[in-house]
């Protein structure tokens, strides 16, 4: 048998290695594209419902939306929780939110970005209130609007409504429960925190005759 010259063997080996490298790079590229398509499919599914409704984000639904089989999804994500975490990170990137190293002065901007992103989803369907609760809610809104108007007579109706709505959020039962349950605060401290913020809002209203478009002195 004729021996293959060393130069030719070296060239052949180099070609094989280059081909393997190319194939490996191509596989990684295609795998990355598939993963991105799966995440995009999950994002699209959620945009059809409330931002808080993740029930439709299942492996099966995402696989169908992305045009792949369920085994492909599982190759990229260990379980449904891993898929949902990836979609959540995608949402944060879409909204331009980066919580790492966030400073207190950044909170308002981050909040605006979050809410702007949330506004692209349909609002959460809410159960109709009992007539008694509905009437209580109406009276609370009227009382808040009147209280704000008494201190902010020069404000536009739109600004007065926004201020009253913020106060309504603060004194809502959901806000108290979030502080006590999610933040594990003692009830008295939660009440103190909410009262403190309401006091700051009242001060801002009194010291800011121009409305929400300007800031009070010292803020």
Read off the pLDDT of residues 163-212 as tens digits, 9 standing for 90 and up.
Answer: 999 999 999 999 999 999 999 999 999 999 999 999 999 999 999 988 98
- Secondary structure of 74-111 in HEC code, one letter for each residue: HHHCCCHHHHHHHHHHHHHHHHCCCCCCCCHHHHHHHH
Read off the pLDDT of residues 153-171 as tens digits, 9 standing for 90 and up.
Answer: 899 999 999 999 999 999 9
**How far is residue 85's CA from residue 40's CA, in Å, rounded to a whole number?**
13
The confidence score (pLDDT) of residue 75 equals: 92
Read off the pLDDT of residues 66-113 as tens digits, 9 standing for 90 and up.
Answer: 999 999 999 999 999 999 999 998 888 888 888 888 999 999 999 999
pLDDT band at residue 13 under the 50/70/90 scheme: low
Read off the pLDDT of residues 80-90 as tens digits, 9 standing for 90 and up.
Answer: 999 999 999 88
Min mean pLDDT across 6-10, 102-106, 150-154 is at 6-10
Residue 78 burial (C-beta neighbours within 10 Å; 0-12, 13-18, 19+):
exposed
- End-to-end Cα spacing for the chain: 91
pLDDT band at residue 20 under the 50/70/90 scheme: low
> Residues 121-136: what's their mean pLDDT?
82
**How far is residue 213's CA from residue 219's CA, in Å, rounded to a whole number?**
13
Max distance between CA atoms of the chain, in angstroms, equals 105
Residue 119 predicted with pLDDT over 90? no
Read off the pLDDT of residues 129-140 as tens digits, 9 standing for 90 and up.
Answer: 788 988 999 999
Residue 11 predicted with pLDDT over 60? no
Cα–Cα distances (Å) from 9 to 15, 20, 23, 46, in that order, read 10, 16, 21, 56
Nearest alpha-carbon partner for 75 in 46, 125, 37, 101: 37
């Amino acid at each position: 048998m004729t021996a293959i010259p060393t130069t030719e063997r070296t060239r052949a080996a180099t070609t094989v290695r280059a081909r393997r490298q190319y194939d490996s790079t191509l596989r990684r590229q295609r795998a990355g594209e598939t993963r991105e398509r799966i995440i995009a499919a999950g994002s699209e599914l959620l945009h059809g419902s409330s931002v808080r409704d993740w029930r439709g984000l299942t492996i099966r639904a995402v696989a169908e939306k992305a045009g792949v089989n369920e085994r492909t999804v599982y190759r990229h994500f260990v379980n449904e929780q891993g898929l949902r975490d990836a979609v959540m990170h995608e949402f944060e990137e879409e909204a331009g939110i980066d919580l790492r190293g966030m400073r207190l002065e950044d909170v308002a901007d981050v909040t605006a970005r979050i809410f702007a992103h949330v506004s692209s989803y349909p609002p959460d369907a809410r159960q109709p209130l009992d007539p008694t609760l509905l009437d209580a809610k109406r009276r609370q809104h009227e009382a808040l609007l009147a209280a704000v108007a008494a201190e902010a007579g020069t404000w536009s109706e739109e600004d007065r409504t926004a201020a009253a709505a913020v106060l309504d959020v603060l004194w809502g039962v959901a806000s108290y429960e979030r502080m006590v349950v999610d933040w594990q605060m003692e009830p008295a401290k939660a009440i103190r925190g909410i009262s403190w913020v309401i006091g700051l809002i009242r001060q801002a209203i009194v010291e800011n005759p121009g409305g929400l478009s300007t800031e009070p002195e010292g803020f």
